[in-house]
Amino acid sequence: MPSRIVDIHPHVISPDTVTYPHAPLGGVHSDWSKTRPVDFEQMLVEMDEAGVDKAAIVHSSTTYGFDNSYLADCIAKMPDRFTGVYAVDVLQPDAVEKIEYWRGRGMGGLRLFTGGATNQSKGSWLLDEKTFPVWEHCQDIGMSVVIQTTPDGLHMVADLLTRFPRAKILLDHMGRPVLEDGPPYAAAQSLFAMAKYPNLYLKITPRSFDLAAGGKSTPATFFTRLVGEFGANRLAFGSNYPASAGPLKKLIDQGHASFSGLSEEDRSWIWARTAQSIYPELAD
């Protein structure tokens, strides 16, 4: 039976800090990783309760830095149900070698973390020529690259999409657009302008649901516009759980409500089929 829901943005953290020591990027833990961590076993239980069939688990950079060991060990337990989205210091000369190492341990995607609540950065290193061998390699092997940035960083993403037209790039949280002005969403024009790049995909998360329901915006008007601009086959769901407070089923229910104005075909792409095109490891 085809997968109903594929989640491309949950996080897991081990309670075993001896085997998997913490070394967060920037030296500071994110609040969620300190106060409500979820391990792999709990994630399995919550996925089953929420009706999530498969997942691309995203490495917690604000817990483990560039050490993806816990994530890799989790993937190895159920490789038919999971793949991993890992982190590497792409400015280092051995970055391609590290990519191949983690790829061999079940990783299906690379994430470039330009900054979050604990590690603010303008992300100008994204366009550093030192990273170009990584981009060449990822597009050659068909490995998707996830970028977390804000509207201020979209010009850099556009540059990368142009330089590396065979690379699949995913934008975390849709790039956090400003939506509170509502239709016609003039403040989000920089996001809609990115639709011209066929190798760009958007990750819709609970943060996206909240943005779409803020101010003069409604989920019905925004997601209808988003599908019209990008096509549902370039949009995919990621729970961001537990960074977004759960339980996971609550976040899935929020998604069902937010997507209720879309067609069944569009919903099937956003909930599972786009994810499986981005991460072939999760195909049925």
Residue 117 has a pLDDT of: 45
Q: Which CATH class is domain 6-282?
A: alpha beta
Residue 120 has a pLDDT of: 43
| Global pTM value | 0.94
Write out pLDDT tens, residues 171-185: 999 999 999 999 999
**Cβ–Cβ < 8 Å for 169, 203:** no
Q: If you average pLDDT over residues 135-158, what whole number do you get?
A: 94
Mean pLDDT of the chain: 94
Domain assignments of the chain as residue spans, ordered by start: 6-282
In terms of phi and psi (left: phi > 0; alpha: psi -120 to 50; beta: otherwise), the region of 26 is left
φ, ψ dihedrals at 36, nearest 5°: -145, 55
Q: Is the pLDDT of residue 221 over 80?
A: yes
Q: Is the pLDDT of residue 159 over 60?
A: yes
Q: Using alpha carbons only, how large is the chain's radius of gyration in Å?
A: 18
